[in-house]
Amino acid sequence: MRSFRTLRLSLRFIIPLFIALTILAYAVVPLVGKLTLRWFVRDMDIRSQLIANTLHDPFVDLLRQGNKAKINALLLNVIRDERLLALGFCNEDGKLLYSTPNFPESLTCSSVALRDKETGPVFRLPKGSVHVALYPMDQDRLQQGSLILVHDMSFVERRSADTRKYIVMLFVLIGVVISVITVFVAYLSWRGWMDGVRAILRGEGILQPFKKPAVASEFQPLVGDLRILLRTFDAERRFADDATITWSPDSLRKLLHKQLAGERIIVVSNREPYIHIRGEGEIEVNRPASGLVTAVEPVMRACSGTWIAHGSGTADRETVDRHDRVQVPPEHPEYTLRRIWLTREEENGYYYGFANEGIWPLCHTAHVRPIFRSSDWQQYIAVNQRFADAVAEEAVSDDPVVLVQDYHFALLPKMIRQKLPRATIITFWHIPWPNPESFGICPWHEELLQGMLGSTILGFHTPFHCKNFLATVDRYLETRIEYESSTISRAGKLTMVESYPISIQWPSPWQETQPSVPECRNGVRDSLGLDAGHLVGIGVDRQDYTKGILERFRAVENMLKRHPEMIGHFTFIQIAAPTRSVLEEYAAFENQVRDLADRINQRFSTGSWQPIRLKVEHHDPEVVNRYYRAADVCMVTSLHDGMNLVAKEFVAARDDEQGVLVLSRFTGAAHELHEALIVNPYHIEQTADALYRALTMPDFEQRERMCNMRALVRDFNIYRWAGRMLLDAARIRQREKLAMRINHTS
Ligand code: F6P
């Protein structure tokens, strides 16, 4: 195929070349004919002159003697020369006195004399051309007549014809040689060019301008231009794609249909979106307190497909079919949940151990030491492999779109890639990414990075996390990194590292059914025995040491200390979902939270009023939503957080455009929700000031801030988060398909 294309290309040059050579040959051949004839005539002239000079004296002597016999004998003797055809002698009166037998009849003394002067020495006779020369024979300066020498010219014609033939052959030969060289050069160039294009398509050369160029030097200027073009084009297109679409479940579905040929999506996460629990007598369905589930579940409902997750509920096994699948949401099924069963040993090693005692503290700068055990690492590998096997089982094509979620599955992308080389793997890392030095603490940091680079797209919440990741890869792996376009090339495979700030469903799923804000306010206050005008603050978190719950309580304490007028008029409600309680660090943290709340409550409580209401139990999202709507202020004080969706959920819940968000600057959300009161949670007084300011903020300021934040959450909702990743995936798939086509056709 490649040779055929080369030949076709070369013909575009060869055909004009042959036409040009033919025209040239037509012009050159007659010229050469004339030239060679002129040379031969000159040779004949010289020859004739020589013969005439040699004959002169003996001939004149014989003439003087009048010895006709001897004259004839002399002439006959001379014409033995094979080229000399005939000799003749004309006297002064123009009469042919002597001639050899084959002297051409059509030649006369007068015609020869005349022709010689006017048109040159060549005569065309019926039997062929002859060269005729006339030389005077004189004695004692008295001319006796002229000797006529007739040379056969047929050999000249023969030679001219030969010359013409050789010239034509020479032209043909030149044409053939040039053609062969052209085809060869075209083949090499085409191959080089194609390799160049292929390298460019792979992103090599474009991606890493600082290291050894992957494409030939002649492509470097092109690569430079392409680099600029691609960047501009990509940025513009992504912006245009993003901005022009109103992101909703419907637009996401259309995108999948149009850009990804209706691919069914496979999601992999540790936490499942619906947990079946055996309650008293009957099975209950729980929605876990998980940012990941909050974000990804609406996407799955929009896209359908299969979600593979750990079946951790006490009644999970009872609710699946024989393939471990169950259709969810239970009340209105829209996609398949495929459950993976883990042994206690696997769960301890992979989930509690490596993921939550190792990677979790490693990636969060919350001053808890990570713990790495070889046995946990082995379980982490084994469980990742089990999920990779499940992905291969669930895939209905050899190029599925797989969305890998979070730090539980750093090895999974590579494992999936080994089973399904053509899969489009989008990995999203829901937690922060630390600097290279911190990440290097993990004994298996290289393996984790290699695993993640099996992804087609690797997503983080913020550009800062992307930058840290690129720097980490640069530090520990041999790769080619293009910082400007945030791409990593390794072993011929490209991973795009991009920030996709995660978000929530918009409009809120309870938009239609939720009670009004006054109802929620009254309901919550009534349940706590507070009067209608009582100020309420809310915190909603898993009970995790990264969430800054202790710092939050201290800020409440500090605010009450500095603003005693608030005592008895403000209550802070902390919803704390129990999490990872089997781990020592978490168990200790639960105690610290409880102890601190007790201490503060003891310090300030009056009568039945307590400043902090700690609710350590699972709350359904609808219930949490009511608390958001009831509160005057929401406090998000994480010490380090990838995004923190509580901040966005609070904003989405407040369709009354009231309420103030106090937000830690160490969350991803702080990069988007600029109208929140941004605090450093380690700075207790500052956070206390922000809390007080929130509680005393005028309505119009609350409205202005809330309106802006709501507009942002509306426009950058969860469908846009998924849509941007899927659009990028679709573009990469198209580029890979194009590269494959080029590979096939060349
Ligand atoms: O913050 C990262 C994250 O994966 C969240 O998406 C999720 O809320 C949590 O961590 C996981 O919690 P769990 O260990 O209970 O699944």
Cis bond leading into 329, ω under 30°?
yes
- Ligand 1 probe mutation, 274, 429, 430, most atoms within 8 A of CB: 430
First to last CA, the chain: 6
Q: Report the separation in Å between the CA atom of 304 and the middle of ligand 1, taken as the mean of its atom positions.
A: 22
User: Would you state the pLDDT for residue 9?
Assistant: 65
Q: How confident is residue 211, by pLDDT bands cut at 50, 70 and 90?
A: very low
Q: How confident is residue 210, by pLDDT bands cut at 50, 70 and 90?
A: very low
Ligand 1 nearest atom to the CA of residue 355, by list position: 14
Q: Report the separation in Å between the CA atom of 290 and the middle of ligand 1, taken as the mean of its atom positions.
A: 5
Ligand 1 nearest atom to the CA of residue 643, by list position: 1
Percent of the chain past pLDDT 70, that is, above it, reads: 90
Ligand 1 nearest atom to the CA of residue 289, by list position: 8
- Ligand 1 probe mutation, 360, 541, 542, most atoms within 8 A of CB: 542
pLDDT of 194 over the 70 cut: no
Q: Report the separation in Å between the CA atom of 542 and the middle of ligand 1, taken as the mean of its atom positions.
A: 8
User: Would you state the pLDDT for residue 189?
Assistant: 65
Q: How confident is residue 207, by pLDDT bands cut at 50, 70 and 90?
A: very low
Q: What is the topology classification, in CATH, of domain 36-157?
A: Beta-Lactamase (3.30.450)
| Residue 529: Cβ-neighbour burial (10 angstroms; 0-12, 13-18, 19+) | exposed
Q: What mean pLDDT do residues 111-121 have?
A: 70
Q: What mean pLDDT do residues 388-414 have?
A: 97
User: Would you state the pLDDT for residue 673?
Assistant: 98
User: Would you state the pLDDT for residue 626?
Assistant: 98
Q: By mean pLDDT, which of 255-264, 440-449, 735-744 is the weakest? A: 735-744
Please say whether the beta carbons of 350 and 312 come within 8 A. Answer: no
What residue owns the CA closest to ligand 1's atom 6? 292
Q: By mean pLDDT, which of 87-101, 187-201, 715-729 is the weakest? A: 187-201
List, chain by chain if needed, residues with CB within 6 Å of any ligand 1 atom. 270-271, 290-292, 406, 430-431, 579-580, 642
Q: How confident is residue 208, by pLDDT bands cut at 50, 70 and 90?
A: very low
Token pair of 182 as six digits: 């052209």
pLDDT of 271 over the 60 cut: yes
* pTM of the entire predicted model: 0.71
Q: Report the separation in Å between the CA atom of 433 and the middle of ligand 1, taken as the mean of its atom positions.
A: 15
Q: Select from 219, 144, 134, 186 the least CA-distant residue to 10.
A: 186
Ligand 1 nearest atom to the CA of residue 292, by list position: 6
Q: What mean pLDDT do residues 415-435 have?
A: 97
Q: Report the separation in Å between the CA atom of 89 and the middle of ligand 1, taken as the mean of its atom positions.
A: 127
Q: Report the separation in Å between the CA atom of 288 and the middle of ligand 1, taken as the mean of its atom positions.
A: 9
Please say whether the beta carbons of 194 and 67 come within 8 A. Answer: no
pLDDT of 506 over the 90 cut: yes
pLDDT of 516 over the 90 cut: yes
What is d(CA 457, CA 453) in angstroms, rounded to the nearest whole number? Answer: 9
Considering the four listed CATH numbers 3.40.50.2000, 3.40.50.2300, 3.30.420.40, 3.90.1150.180, the one that applies to the domain covering 249-499 is 3.40.50.2000
Cis bond leading into 30, ω under 30°?
no
CATH of segment(s) 517-714: 3.40.50.2000
Helices 621-630 and 645-653 pack at an angle, to 10 degrees, of 70
Q: How confident is residue 212, by pLDDT bands cut at 50, 70 and 90?
A: very low
Q: Report the separation in Å between the CA atom of 292 and the middle of ligand 1, taken as the mean of its atom positions.
A: 6
What residue owns the CA closest to ligand 1's atom 8? 290
Q: CB-based contacts of 257: which residues, under 8 Å, 6+ apart?
A: none
How open is the CA angle 234-237-238, to the nearest 5 degrees? Answer: 80
For the chain, give every domain's residue range. 36-157, 249-499, 517-714
What is d(CA 365, CA 431) in angstroms, rounded to the nearest whole number? Answer: 11
Q: Report the separation in Å between the CA atom of 420 and the middle of ligand 1, taken as the mean of its atom positions.
A: 27
pLDDT digits (tens, 9 = 90+) for 32-91: 777 877 888 888 888 888 888 888 888 888 888 888 888 888 888 888 877 788 899 998
Q: Is 321 helix (H, G, I), strand (E, B) or coil?
A: coil
Token pair of 128 as six digits: 């062929």
pLDDT digits (tens, 9 = 90+) for 603-655: 999 999 999 999 999 999 999 999 999 999 999 999 999 999 999 999 999 99
What residue owns the CA closest to ligand 1's atom 7? 290
Q: Report the separation in Å between the CA atom of 579 and the middle of ligand 1, taken as the mean of its atom positions.
A: 9
User: Would you state the pLDDT for residue 115?
Assistant: 67
What residue owns the CA closest to ligand 1's atom 16? 271
Ligand 1 nearest atom to the CA of residue 430, by list position: 2
Same fold, 36-157 and 249-499: no
Q: Report the separation in Å between the CA atom of 720 and the middle of ligand 1, taken as the mean of its atom positions.
A: 21
User: Would you state the pLDDT for residue 209?
Assistant: 41
What is d(CA 53, CA 47) in angstroms, rounded to the nearest whole number? Answer: 10
How far from chain centre, in Å, is Cα 78? 91
Ligand 1 nearest atom to the CA of residue 270, by list position: 16
What residue owns the CA closest to ligand 1's atom 9? 290
- Ligand 1 probe mutation, 269, 287, 292, most atoms within 8 A of CB: 292
Please say whether the beta carbons of 385 and 393 come within 8 A. Answer: no
Q: By mean pLDDT, which of 127-136, 524-533, 651-660, 697-706 is the weakest? A: 127-136
User: Would you state the pLDDT for residue 585?
Assistant: 97
User: Would you state the pLDDT for residue 568?
Assistant: 98
pLDDT digits (tens, 9 = 90+) for 470-504: 999 999 999 999 988 899 999 889 999 999 999 99
